[in-house]
Structure 1
Amino acid sequence: MSSITMLDTVLAPRPDDTPGDALGCLLAAGVDPNGGNLDNLLLGVRHATALETCMSGVPTVANVKGLVATFFLLAAAAVVYAWLPRRRDRKNRTVPVGTVSRDTSLQDELAQLRELSGTAPGVRFRVDPTRTTAGAVVYGSAGRYTVCLHAGLVARRGTDPDGFRTVVLHELAHIRNRDVDFAYGSTALWRVFVVLALLPYLFQQGRLLTNGLLGRNASPFWPGAASIITYSLLSGLLLVALVHLARADLLRRRELHADRQAVAWGATLGGWDHPDPPGTVATPLRRVIALLRTHPRWAERRRVLDDPGRMARVSALEMLLTGVGASLLVHEVLVLPGLSGGTGGAFLTALLVAPVLFLVLRRSVASAARSAGRRTETGVRAGLWLGAGLVVGTFVGGGNSGTEWVIAQPVYLLALVVTAVVPAVWTAQFCRLTLVLPGRLLRIATVLLNFLVTLALLWGGLLWWQSSGRALAMGFAVHDGALTALIKEEFPGPWGLYPRDLSVISAVSPVLMMLNKEVLLAAAALLMSLVPLLLHVRVRGTGLRLRRTLMAGLAGGLVCWAGLAAAAYALRARRPVTFDQRTGAFQYVHMWWQIAALMGACLVTASVVAGVSRRHWLLRALLAAQVVQFMAYAAVFALAAADGCLGPLNKLGDRCHWLPENGRILAELTAAQSLTATVFLSACAALAGAAVGRIAHRHRPTASPSQPSAQASPEIRPWPAVLRRSTILVLGVPACLLTVLTHADDADSAQRSAVENQRFAELFDTPQTARVAKVREWQAAAWLGKGGLDRIGGMGDAFTALGDALTEAAEQEPDTNGKIRLDETKFSRLCGTLGGRAAQARKYFPVPFKELQQPWSDALRRLQSDSRTCQDAMAMGEDAKFATNAERGLRFQQSLDGMRAAMNALTDVLQKLDAMAFPSKDGS
């Protein structure tokens, strides 16, 4: 995937002296290449629709060039793959086996070993007389393989026949396992990538950086471009190291698999009794160097043969490289046609990573269950390394590249780690839970369900990072207070009484917004809690300890009730006097205090349950947290329905009424803000609680041998089937109903979200000032050329048509009262056309200059307002807005004057933009 971007950059470099097509859209939006990362990102977020519309007209020839070139690169790799073995044959002077043996015993033994391994008869055996070591090598491609025996190995056959057989069987195992194809394929692809993509890319970027530092590049993108290019160079070099690590790890693991296969065919273990050469470097450095080797050390090979289950364990390096590849794919896949926008990158990445994580953990869990004394796979280690890979890949892939290398809020990078740890732990524990399931069909269904939940969790985490987490890490939560002001406008009231509450809400709500938005995440959260419960009802002995888990949830629910009561009582001192004042800011703050009490109780319950549990701690913690959630929503319903009857706990009312509809509305709003997010935050709290519990368990003093052992706890009697099934109804039905209710109005929610985004852009649309005068010139030219001039021209044409209609009406004969009769339908349509074009212009990019944006916005708003007034003045009959004709005429005249003034303001903005975009006109 990286080759597409690199080759695209080499073959179709972006212009550095003129605003190109895609660059023109960004410049028209107000992006400053020398500006801050967050400022540029927010411009793209605020004007996503306008930017997508502009980009839709940009030709995609550049991306296509990189994509086509990548296909040629793959074709070249295939040619190199076929050519490498032939080159080796010509380079090494090998001889047939028969030339070094006086009889046919060597050929016969090799044929027997080949038949034992089940390899194809076409395998050739040759001898390299120049190599005196007791080794061998296999090479070839496309089914034409050659086993080249060293002369020392042939001589060893007479003194150590078992060692000879071991070496030959090992090489034949490489052929049987298709390791030769893996090795030569990866070698060919890597060499072609380095020669045709990486080196040209590094050369071009290095040349640009050198020219810029020496002052040979007069591009206005400097010095911002220097930071971006330097970051690209370092990322390319780091990518080289990561690819080499991945290739070396692949080849080492293939060596270990070949060892095991050779032993299965009868090779003696003595063939691996070789001491490793003494090292001359320190042990930590030796371990790092070992990761770069394509062959494992002899000690590692012997450990794998002594413990076959060792290969089934999760490899830290494998998970790290998987995370790096996943994070890179999120960024690189965006260059593919059809995936340049939206959430396709996150979904495709999760679709490729989820099977790797799922299969690796399932294999490890099954292997640990079959081996007595093996440590159970928890998934924590695999998730941590996978998350670390996601973090590293974020830097390598340019997730924060630009003029600022250091992320403003690096704590949000922990979200990437949690994105990997939660599905890893869930997968491992659920796999353990399904090992005792009877029936093949039931096992297949649970495996599929496990994979789907893992996929949804990974996709949700990557989507959250792509759409929200990256902006939060860059400092969005502490930006210019735009979200705070938007909340104040949406919920008016005495916000001076709640300054700290507002700052906390503004910081927390962006984090939870995306988690509560996606339907697929809500379904995954529902399945995470209910599916283990369903399996517990179906099969006994799962280890969930349902009775204790539910009791812990009930205790947490009681704590939550106390927290809700305490929150209501604490807010009473700041409750406004009148009812109207309580329905805005106070009601909003009160709802978030309730959400805080709910989430706090769920997180504490989940952490405690996970800390004291030894098996299935995540599953038990989520189930207990769900009990707390339902008890909390029931309390929210009761507090709202009985508002006015609760004395010091009253929120809005002072008179006692039982209003269940109010309770339902508030409970539904609270669930919409917290239902899905609480599940995932509870999972995070369970991780922390489990870590603390394990640390405390390790430091707990052990009983001395002289002390009597504790008596065995009595066996817990299982619940009757009726109680177990009732538990499903009590927990499952409310969970499904709440999930459906909170996502039933997705269309309305999307419409409201679009309106809020538009208002966000209008209220806080303050373009940044470009640092270089040439960039300001390009911004003005791009804004005019990408649609600004067309929109002003369209409004001018509509206003001219309205003026022509007035002139035509003035030439008509007046009526008996000396007045001119206007065609109401015609003028209403003309005024509506002008207002509609003003509305379309408001959807376009704002003027990328602070001094011109305000006149532009004011003129467009006035045009829309006056066009509506004009239409109202032309309305007759039942649609009439004004009582008398005199008032209609006055309002019509006022609207014409207002539209004329607005058009004059737009003309003034156009003239200033034209002067900024083409300054040479004034001097010519």
Structure 2
Amino acid sequence: MNTHGSPSRVDERALSAGTTVRFVLLVALLVMSSSLMVLHVALALSAYDGFGCSLAAGVAPGIDSAADVIARRGLQWEAYRACSIRYAPPPPWWVLPGWWAVLALLTALVFWALSRWKARRGRAVPLAAVDHDGAVARVVAELAEAAGLRRPPRVVIDVSASSAGAVVFGRTGRATVRLHGGLLALRAVDPLRFRAVLSHEFAHIANGDVTITYLTVALWRVYLGVALPPFLLWCVLMFQRAPNSPVWSSEAPIVTRGLLLTALLTMLVYLARADVLRSREVYADLTAVRRGADPTGWSRLDADDVGTRRRLLRAFLELWRTHPRWEVRRRALTDPAVLFGVYALPLFLTGAAATITHSHTMFALTQYAQLSSWAQHGAALAAAALVAGVVGVALWRAVVFSALIGVPGPSSIRAGLWLGLGMMLGGLAAGQGTINEWLPARPWVFLLLPVIAVAFTSWSTHCARLWVVAWRGRSLRGVMLLSVAAASSALSVWFVWWQTQGVAAGAGWWFDVAGVRDDLVTYLLGTAPDDAPVTWVDTAFVTIMNTTTNVLALPFAIAALIGLWVVPMLAWWSRPGIDPPRWALAALAGDRIRPGPPLPAFRRVLLPGVCGGVLGAAIVVAPVGTWFGVDVDASPTAFVTAELFGMQLAFLVAAAAAAAVARRTVPEHRLAAALIAAGTATLLCFGALLLSRVSDGCIPPFALADGACSSETGVARRLFDLILLPALPFVLLTAGLVGAPRSVSARRAVRPRTIGPARAGVLVLLVGALAVSTVAFVQRAPVAGRVPTPAEVQQASRQAMDAPPDGPVPASTRAMQVEAWFGYGGDDLLDDFSVHRRDLFAAVTAGVEAGATIAELHHVRPHCTEIVAFAEEGVRYFRVPDPSANELWESFLVLAWQAGRECEIALDADQAEDFDAAMQDLVTAQNTGDRVLRASTRGRDRHRLVRVGRKRRATTAAGTPPKPVSTPVPSTDPPRNPNSVGLLAGVPVTARVCAGISAVPAAPGVRAGGGGAAAGPGSDRRS
């Protein structure tokens, strides 16, 4: 602790300043926001028609909620995806890369032009033209050498400028310093100020600020001049055509939100730009003073404003300045606290920028393809790295500074709330959870964002405090990067969950507890579940399973979560010492101040974890399913759910107990101790569960079907997949809540720890953590690159969703829906059937008239196959938005499929009577198809009906079957009954759904998280 009367001078270079990461954040904001504008404009100029596919799917604009839209799309995802690809295709793939190339080229041109403009002959002359005796050149060379520059920069004089200032421009490797004429004249009167101003500009060159500064300016000007105007013009055109749009009630939120988002992004970009430029000015001052400049040479006093209102106004205006006020610069020279503070604006900007960047990255990617787990995690990791790079580094700097000068550290709760507020505003502005609504159906779900932000800042802050005490090396940058990497990895898992399930929950969607439970029980037992009522145990178990399915499919998810307690645990691997660490000596220029008491013995963290593990082991080795009062014979479904949930609950109880004890034994680092103890208890509890079940050879839920025990490998894998992995996120959440510090406790004396036992304990736990992470990665990596097919997404949606009710819809809306259904594929399907049936009848008629028998008509079999294929394609298309017409449509498809299959079977078996019956059934199917057309004519456009009707009559036969086939060839096989070849004989699962027959549930691993999958039914393709 610092016992000095005044704060020690802390070297601002003790840790990375973080300004480069903030510049990366600025670039990401500029690129993402301009790319979004370009994408919207390109969609408007293309044949994009996203609303048509939604109307064909039965979406009622202005009536259906966002959850209903998700369900209507997801339950018909094959048709919706195919419709989007055909009628709402994204712009060509080269549009965004082309825009990035144009953006880079224009930025380079503006960057080059800025240097040429500032150095133009009409405004600046070479130094030699006015420095006849070379005195100024000698001062320039002296100051350049003091600044560490390899050679003096080019110096020009702006003789027309009377101010006593200077500016550096160009690029870092070839910079030019332009001195104002007033400064040159001041050299003889005030040489200290002349040298200070020149040293400040040379410090910019030494710090590498020149290139970044002018790239920032160039990017901003390209954004304002090239990207913004076309988008604003698009918004104007959209509002102009609003009165003529029948779906403006759904378009209005999108266009308005896009305009507001553009304004917000423009403001965020400007504030981020100003923040980057301001911070670099302060660091240039410090660099100049460290190289010998007089701090009084350029700092002036501001006006004396002591009023509260004036101070608040001045603080607000400071946010928009690219150069800090003189008072701020002067204070930074004497008190470095301003450089190590955690301020609200960067936190807010970072939260908003990360959320918007991630949301629109996913939007842009899903325009072109569905995403694999790797792609989803990569996009999330980029956004999380921005947050960790800006906020994590700022928290580390604040913790280091407070530890060195002995003052309280930064408030992680305050920092998290500002970060979470930015994430909330960014998510709402980006339209998360709204689809085509103005606001999410469940706005309270967005309160999870500040909660997770506080968790992120709390972990980062307490991990920094731990490592500041433990690390003895020359620099903290290595352990800081390790901590930032762990935090960004864990945060990326959250971003994936939020984009896939959190956003859908905000839109009003949630999974069906009974459906998910029954699917899982069917997968485990291999038999249909019984009709057990849904209890709180079922709800808790399904919530744990379904909320973790998506994120646990990520290969690195488990490693990222385990890193939250492994990284703090590694602090006990470092060698203890009594003397101040070397990094503290360097930061305080030799001042021997210790940043805090040494770490306590590792056994104070390990023993609570062992005790918690023993408690959990005692629970899991018992038949925990019976504790909920469930009888296995009465309800196998309820028993399976209770048994699995009981095991997961044992893990949570063990973790909570271990965390509660650890936070009391290690109060100085209670959060880290709680996480480590909970992780230890989890590993021990799982080991006990594994030994008890594998050694027994059976686990009750897996032996209910036939009484046989599963193999040891199967038991171990199912315990790993169904118990340990789903419980792990909730274990960490429980430990974090228990270990969260409620107050700052007084530090007490701690005896130096011994390194041998500590490293042994750390090594054992590290091996266990790596084993779990490796197994999870090996299991998931082979399938992480696989993209789910539309059929799999649709099947998962049907397992997790209930169909929204068909409520009353205005006649005009119903007419638009039916018109879209016909226009986006319904007409084509009906015409295809008519053509296939006509060609079949014509071929059969020609054969019969030529005297052919059934054995001589095998050449017509391809026409029968085409009809079967048509029916299978028809069941993959949208259901008719009109309920009465949809009933006829389903009957029509069933009749067509049965008739086509009967035709194939009759030809294969040479059964003339069955073949003739199939032809008659095709006539019945044709008549049913015509009834579909007539049933859907109510309210539709009459001109459209006339055209469709004429088209149909042109391709439709008279409605009678061909003449009966001549006497069939005798066959030894009995005639086949057409009814024996029903839908279940060979029709795909989608046809069963169309026919009203439930599909067989898939394994839980296929589940895509319902309607919230990034590329699934919850993704918003502007409609």
Structure 1-normalised TM-score? 0.78
Residues 525 and 676 of structure 1 are in contact (CA less than 8 Å); yes or no, is this contact kept in structure 2?
no
Q: How many Å separate the matches in 2 of 1:769 and 1:196?
A: 47
- Structure-2 residue corresponding to 1:584: 637
The code of the aligned residue for 2:438 comes to W
Match of 2:655 among 602, 615, 620: 602
Give, in whole Å, the separation in 2 of the partners of 1:237 and 1:755. Answer: 36
- 1:109-143 per-residue CA deviation (whole Å, 9 max, x = no partner) reads 345334544275552242556635x4434445694
Contact 1:383 1:417 in 2 (8 A): yes
2:552 pairs, out of 500, 513, 516, with 516
* CA deviations over 1:479-529 (Å, ceiling 9, x no partner): 999768978998855656434445555655442221232222134335555
1:920 to 915, 936, 943: 943
- CA deviations on 1:318-358 (whole Å, 9 max, x unpaired) are 34333333222223335757873434466235236527735
- The 1-side partners of 2:817 and 2:652 are apart by 46
**Which residue does the alignment assign to 2:1021?**
none
Match of 2:625 in 1: 568
Aligned to 2:193: 163
The range that moved more, 138-147 or 266-275, is 138-147
Matched ranges for 1:722-733 at <5 A: 733=771
Aligned to 2:607: 551
2:678 is the alignment partner of 1:625: yes
Where does residue 40 of structure 1 map in the other structure? 69
Aligned residues: 880
* Residue identity matched to 1:571: F
2:294 maps to a residue whose letter is: T
Aligned to 2:932: 909
Higher alpha-carbon deviation: 477-486 or 461-470: 477-486
The share of aligned pairs that are identical, in percent, is 25
The question of whether the paired residues in 2 share the 8 Å contact of 1:332 and 1:397 is answered with yes
- For the residues of structure 2 that align with 1:405 and 1:422, how far apart are their CA atoms? 29
1:688 to 718, 727, 737: 737
Moved more, 712-721 or 847-856: 712-721
Change (3 A) 1:901 1:584: farther
| Equivalent residue letter for 1:297 | R
Alpha carbons of 1:465 and 1:356: their partners in 2 closer, same or farther (altered >3 Å)?
Answer: closer
The whole-number CA distance in structure 1 between the counterparts of 2:531 and 2:488 is 42
Does the aligned pair in 2 maintain the 1:82–1:141 contact within 8 Å? no
Distance 2:905 2:601 in 1: 70
Specify which of 6, 11, 33 is matched with residue 2 of structure 1: 33
2:576–2:752 Cα contact (<8 Å) kept = no
- The aligned residue for residue 278 of structure 1 is 304
CA distance in 2, matches of 1:468, 1:222: 28
The alpha-carbon deviation at position 472 of structure 1 amounts to 1.2
Deviation sequence 1:869-916 (CA, Å, 0-9, x none): 77677788xxxxxxxx9xx99987877766654554344334555776
Q: Quote the offset at 1:864 in angstroms.
A: 4.8
Partner SS state of residue 234, structure 1:
helix
Structure 2 CA distance, aligned partners of 1:269 and 1:155?
20
Per chain length, whose mean CA-contact separation is higher, i.e. which structure has more relative contact order (CA < 8 Å, sep 6+)? Answer: 2
Q: Closer, same or farther in 2 for the Cα pair 1:116/1:557, shift >3 Å?
A: closer
The one-letter code sitting in structure 1 at the alignment partner of 2:270 is: H
Q: Which residue of 1 aligns with 2:333?
A: 305
- Pairing of 1:391-470 with structure 2 (within 5 A): 391-401=424-434, 403-417=436-450, 453-454=486-487, 456-470=489-503
The whole-number CA distance in structure 2 between the counterparts of 1:357 and 1:101 is 50
**RMSD, aligned α-carbons:** 5.2
Structure 1 unaligned residues grouped into runs of 5+: 703-709, 815-819, 877-884
Deviation of the 1:742 alpha carbon: 8.1
* 1:661 corresponds to: 710
Aligned residue among 273, 295, 313 for 1:269? 295
Distance 1:748 1:189 in 2: 37
SS of the residue 1:269 aligns to: coil
Report the Cα distance in structure 2 between the residues aligned to 1:835 and 1:686, rounded to whole angstroms. 58
CA distance in 2, matches of 1:538, 1:810: 93
Confirm or deny: 8 A CA contact 1:32 1:770 kept in the other structure.
Answer: no
Task: Name which of 880, 903, 909 aligns with 1:847.
Answer: 880
Provide closer, same or farther for how the CA distance between residues 724 and 187 of structure 1 changes in structure 2, counting only shifts above 3 A: closer
Q: Is the 8 A contact 2:77 2:794 kept in 1?
A: no
Q: Is the 8 A contact 1:8 1:62 kept in 2?
A: no
Structure 2 stretches lacking a partner, 5+ long = 1-31, 578-597, 948-1023
1:149 and 2:180 aligned: yes
Instruction: Select the residue among 203, 215, 226 that pairs with 1:185.
Output: 215
Larger proportion of helix: 1
Question: Is the CA contact 2:532–2:638 (under 8 Å) kept in the aligned structure 1?
Answer: no
Matching residue of 2:258: 232
Alpha-carbon shift at residue 261 of structure 1 (Å): 1.8
Equivalent position SS for 1:145:
strand
Within the candidate set 190, 194, 206, 2:224 is matched to: 194
1:108-257 equivalent positions in 2, closer than 5 A: 108-117=138-147, 118=149, 121=152, 123-127=154-158, 131=162, 134-139=164-169, 143=174, 145-149=176-180, 151=182, 153-154=183-184, 156-206=186-236, 208-209=238-239, 212=242, 217-257=243-283
**Please, which of 751, 757, 760 is the counterpart of residue 795 of structure 2?**
757
Q: State the match for 1:342 in structure 2.
A: 370
Shift of 1:258: 1.0
Q: What amino acid maps onto 2:284 in structure 1?
A: A
Q: Deviations over 1:640-697 (max 9, x none)?
A: 7899999xxx889999x99652887566445424534433333333443343x2x244
Q: Is the 8 A contact 2:888 2:932 kept in 1?
A: yes
SS at match of 1:209: helix
- Is the alpha carbon distance of 1:764 and 1:146 closer, same or farther for their aligned partners in structure 2, counting shifts above 3 Å? same
The 8 Å contact of residues 867 and 900 in structure 2, kept in 1 or not, is answered as yes
Deviation of the 1:255 alpha carbon: 0.3
CA distance in 2 between counterparts of 1:114 and 1:721 reads: 50
Q: Give distance in 1, aligned partners of 2:354 and 2:300.
A: 38
Question: 1:331: which partner in 2?
Answer: 359
- Output the CA distance in 2 between the equivalents of 1:36 and 1:794: 35
Quote how far apart the aligned CAs of 1:65 are. Answer: 5.6
SS at match of 2:323: coil
Mapped to 2, the partners of 1:166 and 1:103 lie a distance apart of: 22
How do 1:680-829 and structure 2 match up within 5 A?
680-691=729-740, 693=741, 695-698=742-745, 718-719=756-757, 733=771, 736-737=774-775, 754=792, 757=795, 760=798, 764-766=802-804, 776-800=814-838, 822=855
Q: Please identify, of 322-331 and 591-600, the stretch whose mean Cα deviation from structure 2 is larger.
A: 591-600
CA distance in structure 2 between the partners assigned to 1:809 and 1:352 by the alignment: 68
Q: 1:529 to 1:74 in 2, by over 3 A?
A: closer
Secondary structure of the 1:126 match is strand
Aligned amino acid, residue 549 of structure 1: V
The one-letter code of the counterpart of 2:625 is: A
